[in-house]
Amino acid sequence: MHKRPTSIPVRPLFAATLALMLAACGGGGGGGNTPAPPTTGALKVTGTVATGAALGNVAVDIRCRVGSGTAQTAANGSYSVDFTSAALPCVVTAPVGAQAMHSVATVATAGTATANVTPLSEWVLVRISGGDVAGYITNIGSDAQAAATTTALAAALPILRDALVDVT
């Protein structure tokens, strides 16, 4: 009897990733261009740093609309930072070789926001920052930047979904 090789189902994996990224967009919104003032409170930011394989022992920098912190990834690439007072969005930066990769967290569920740092999350942050990731991170605390994040994510994710639709 011939056994089929075991492989990872790529299409469902990308669909699940996109669903999580879309969920991170939040929703709602509201009329007008003036964002609500940041609501601060206890916040936990967690995730995994990976480029295909998990990256252990990597310094992670988290900068939020209100608050910032650092962490070291575990051997499995996971990290977690607890803030006593912070506000979303948060940008996570992790060095990968001579470069850095990023992710953005915009929604917290039960006080926890997830930001996995991967090549796909880097693409999303480059897209929503208009190519100026450093400027985006510098201005993460501004009201305008916070409002633009949700709008830009809503525009970027369908582009990513369409680009991945034929990936198997």
Q: How far apart are CA 157 and CA 127, in angstroms?
A: 9
Render pLDDT for 82-113 as a digit per residue (tens, 0 to 9): 999 999 999 999 999 889 999 999 888 999 99
**Bridge-partner residues for 104, per DSSP?**
91
Contact (Cβ atoms closer than 8 angstroms) between residue 43 and residue 113: yes
pLDDT in tens, 43-87: 999 999 999 899 999 999 999 999 999 999 999 999 999 999 999
CB 123 within 8 A of CB 82: no
Classified as helix, coil or strand, 152 is helix
Flag whether the pTM goes above 0.85. no
CA distance 24 to 161: 15
pLDDT at 7 over 80: no
